[in-house]
Structure 1
Amino acid sequence: MSQNDVPDFAALLRSAERSAAHLEMRDVYAVGDEAEDFARFRRTGVHPDLDPDSAGWSGWVPLVRETVTRGVQMRRARIVSEPVTDYIRFEHAGTAVNLAAGEQVRWLPRRMASDIALPGNDLWLIDERLVLFHWFTGDGDWAGHEFNEDPAVVKMVTAAFETVWERAVPHEHFAV
């Protein structure tokens, strides 16, 4: 499928029947909708929005809650360099909202991923049947996405994610 054929993300997540796994591998993201919150975090060291019911999370938390309520396991694994970047500290501080919504989150220090065959891009894996790759610019802004159902790609992504998940540290035990 081409980039234009990628379904709306909410529809994609709603299509999940058993699992939705998210693999993040960048140390810095610079997506526009986070810029103000990240700037505030850098000034204060405090995440500006930890209320899962706030307007700032209204596009994500209800979708996660709906998905988890349907019995779908949502897991997010983040591979990070150490010492962590300011952005990773920002993500770590905000992860309380992901957990409150029903996601499971783990962190893997990059040095522990050296022998894992990893895909080249961040991704979502839905029901071990389809992958949504996300592309970012060198500065961390959105650059596009691609949907992939090739069984060999899905198998590789599934193996990579499961290996990362097995090695990764649960959020509550990962200090930044």
Structure 2
Amino acid sequence: MATDDFLELLNGSKHSAVHMEMRDVYAVSDEDEGFKRWKNGHRLDEGDRESWWRPWLTLMQDTIARGVVVRRARVISEPVTEYIRYEHSFTFTNVAAGEQVRWLPRRLASDLAFPGNDFWLFDNTAVMFNVWTGDGDWAENGREIRTEPSVIDLCSSSFEAVWGRATPHADYHII
């Protein structure tokens, strides 16, 4: 699926957009340079908002300004991978843009049912699954949109279960 599908679903949302991330490593090419710089010691400057992840954060600010609540839950293994350390280091930008972000250690999720892939759920009416390769890059045809009530219910209930157990970003400390 094209990025246009995601933008259409997000822009059509009126109330909520929730995102569940369940991988410990992502290896998408548009993050390569930032990840390399981070490994070499670069950290985002909290005072320099213009240097943050654009155009994503602008999209989130605009979405939230329309009244859409955006929540992101990350299910992670501990100790965390180097990639999760990187991701955690800049999550303050997501929060500053208005996203609500929580972290759940995988060991606390053993009794929860999850779909097989990361997903976005829009207004509890459509799910977009993000499908990844084993290496953490987008799979060919890496997005799948589903609207069946059973799929919506699975994604909604799994997200809410994780959200209820997860720690808000400001309180989650990497181990």
Counterpart selection for 2:69 from 45, 70, 73: 73
Match of 2:123 in 1: 127
Structure 2 counterpart SS, 1:91: helix
Question: Is the Cα contact below 8 Å between 1:37 and 1:47 reproduced in 2?
Answer: no
Q: Which runs of 5+ in 2 are unaligned?
A: none
Structure 2 counterpart SS, 1:66: helix
Residue 30 in structure 1 maps to residue 27 in structure 2: yes
Match of 1:162 in 2: 160
C-alpha deviation, 1:142, in angstroms: 0.8
Question: Is the Cα contact below 8 Å between 1:130 and 1:149 reproduced in 2?
Answer: yes
Counterpart selection for 2:37 from 32, 37, 40: 40
C-alpha deviation, 1:48, in angstroms: 4.4
C-alpha distance in structure 1 between counterparts of 2:114 and 2:129, whole Å: 13
Counterpart selection for 1:84 from 80, 101, 106: 80
| Structure 2 length-normalised TM | 0.92
Structure 2 counterpart SS, 1:162: helix
| Structure 1 length-normalised TM | 0.92
Match of 2:50 in 1: 53
Counterpart selection for 2:136 from 124, 140, 159: 140
C-alpha deviation, 1:36, in angstroms: 1.0
Query: Aligned pairs, how many?
Result: 171
Structure 2 counterpart SS, 1:57: coil
- Tell me the C-alpha RMSD between the 2 structures: 1.5
C-alpha distance in structure 2 between counterparts of 1:71 and 1:159, whole Å: 22
Question: Is the Cα contact below 8 Å between 1:52 and 1:101 reproduced in 2?
Answer: no
Residue 15 in structure 1 maps to residue 25 in structure 2: no
Percent identity, please: 53
C-alpha distance in structure 1 between counterparts of 2:43 and 2:115, whole Å: 30
C-alpha distance in structure 1 between counterparts of 2:49 and 2:145, whole Å: 29
Q: Which runs of 5+ in 1 are unaligned?
A: none
